């Protein structure tokens, strides 16, 4: 008999869960030589320091047979860890996975959140069977696929910019992000994304779109100086945000208001963005784009970005 419990991550026996995760992953498509038992234990201990992390456990005769980790520290939405639940090679594997997801949905509803998401990432060739299994678990549990994205990267050391610098259309100019307040940014941001092809953003309610804006434009996290705005007089018409990460600089959101689309605005912005990243000796720039967002994908390919892996988001809306 499998018993499901919902716990704060900090309240459970972390080493026991880490051991279970390590052993289960070792014999799966997620096996990785760089992940040792010590590193899994360390990372779980770090995660447990934030009380918004929840561990939903499946146990049989006191032995852990499955786990699902959930992050609840974001306004209105909760996020299941990538490629969770993790379930052992047991007879009732599918039922156990779906029981963990069901308990998770129940918890999210009880604490008053409105949306639950899981990201199957990365999806490399070796993960295709796993992807089919998770798709089944989530679709059988009432989730739908919100989007499929490409995680893209350019190696700035080997990519060379053309000597012909693309210019902004007449009357537009670059501006630094520190000189413009988020309030002046909100409308152009919403206008460009609400008319665009980013399915994950379009899947959000208007309130969730604002939450995403506030997160992406959070001034408490550092911007890279390669973040650029485009102005027509005092009005924002385009933007490209860059954030430093440990081994790369992450781009996004990027956008242009629809009345300026297809005039070469973002081509000029990204040239300048890449130029600044190279000046700063950054090695990689990364981003995520909806695979069906052809304008964005074409634009990124122009600047040497290539897909490293795919990722799929599944979502459930609390009724
Ligand atoms: C994607 C976006 C930023 C492009 O901005 P833009 O200023 O219109 O792009 P540009 O005019 O500079 O075009 C540069 C290149 O992008 C590609 N591109 C732009 N729009 C395109 C379209 N409608 N169809 C196909 N390719 C397109 C082309 O390769 C183009 O080069 P070309 O004109 O020489 O063919 C804009 O469409 C937008 O704001 N979309 C909504 C927000 C969004 O989806 N952001 C990306 C999220 S990952």
pLDDT (tens digit per residue) in 186-230 = 999 999 999 999 999 999 999 999 999 999 999 999 999 999 999
Return the ligand 1 atom nearest residue 298 CA.
29
**Contact of 235 with 187, CB cutoff 8 Å:** no
- Separation of CA 295 and ligand 1 centre (Å): 4
pLDDT band at 1 (very low <50, low <70, confident <90, very high): confident
Please indicate whether residue 197, judged by its CB atom, sits closer than 6 Å to ligand 1: yes
Q: Whose CA is nearest to atom 44 of ligand 1?
A: 196
The CA-based diameter of the chain, rounded to the nearest angstrom, is 72
Which of 228, 270, 272, 295 has most ligand 1 atoms within 8 Å of its beta carbon, as the pocket-test mutant? 295
Rounded to an integer, what distance in angstroms lies between the CA atom of residue 17 and that of residue 148? 30
pLDDT band at 43 (very low <50, low <70, confident <90, very high): very high
Return the ligand 1 atom nearest residue 300 CA.
16
- Separation of CA 266 and ligand 1 centre (Å): 7
pLDDT digits (tens, 9 = 90+) for 94-144: 999 999 999 999 999 999 999 999 999 999 999 999 999 999 999 999 999
Give the pLDDT mean for 296-300: 98
Question: Is residue 319's pLDDT more than 90?
Answer: no
| Mean of per-residue pLDDT scores for the chain | 97
pTM of the full predicted structure? 0.96
Please indicate whether residue 241, judged by its CB atom, sits closer than 6 Å to ligand 1: no
Rounded to an integer, what distance in angstroms lies between the CA atom of residue 292 and that of residue 199? 8
Nearest to 81 by CA among 46, 53, 115: 53
Rounded to an integer, what distance in angstroms lies between the CA atom of residue 256 and that of residue 194? 11
Return the ligand 1 atom nearest residue 195 CA.
41
In the structure encoding, which two tokens stand for residue 311, read together? 């990722």
CA distances from 1 to 19, 55, 92 (A): 21, 19, 10
């Amino acid at each position: 008999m499998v018993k499901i419990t919902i716990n704060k991550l900090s309240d459970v026996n972390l080493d026991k869960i880490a051991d279970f995760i390590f052993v289960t992953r070792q014999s799966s498509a997620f096996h990785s030589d760089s992940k040792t038992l010590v590193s899994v234990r360390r990372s779980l201990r770090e995660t447990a320091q934030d009380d918004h992390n929840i561990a939903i456990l499946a146990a049989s005769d006191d032995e852990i047979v499955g786990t699902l980790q959930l992050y609840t520290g974001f306004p209105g939405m909760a996020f299941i860890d990538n490629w969770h639940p993790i379930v052992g090679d047991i007879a009732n594997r599918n039922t156990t996975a779906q029981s963990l997801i069901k308990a998770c949905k129940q918890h999210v509803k009880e604490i008053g959140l409105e949306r639950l998401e899981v990201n199957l990432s990365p999806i490399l060739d070796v993960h295709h069977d796993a992807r089919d299994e998770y798709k089944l678990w989530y679709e059988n549990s009432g989730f739908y696929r919100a989007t499929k994205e490409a995680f893209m990267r350019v190696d700035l050391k080997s990519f060379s910019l053309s000597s012909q610098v693309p210019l902004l259309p007449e009357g537009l100019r670059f501006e630094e992000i520190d000189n413009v307040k988020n309030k002046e940014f909100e409308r152009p941001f919403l206008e460009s994304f609400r008319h665009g092809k980013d399915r994950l953003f379009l899947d959000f309610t208007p309130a969730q779109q604002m939450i995403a804006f506030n997160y992406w434009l959070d001034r408490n996290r550092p911007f890279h100086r390669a973040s650029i705005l485009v102005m027509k007089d005092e009005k924002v018409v385009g933007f490209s945000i860059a954030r430093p990460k440990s081994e790369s600089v992450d781009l996004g959101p990027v956008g242009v208001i629809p009345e300026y689309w297809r005039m070469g605005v973002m081509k000029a912005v990204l040239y300048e963005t890449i130029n600044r990243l190279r000046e700063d000796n950054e090695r990689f720039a990364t981003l995520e784009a909806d695979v069906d967002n052809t304008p964005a994908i074409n634009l990124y390919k122009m600047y040497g970005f290539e897909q490293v892996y795919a990722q799929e988001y599944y979502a459930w809306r609390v009724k």
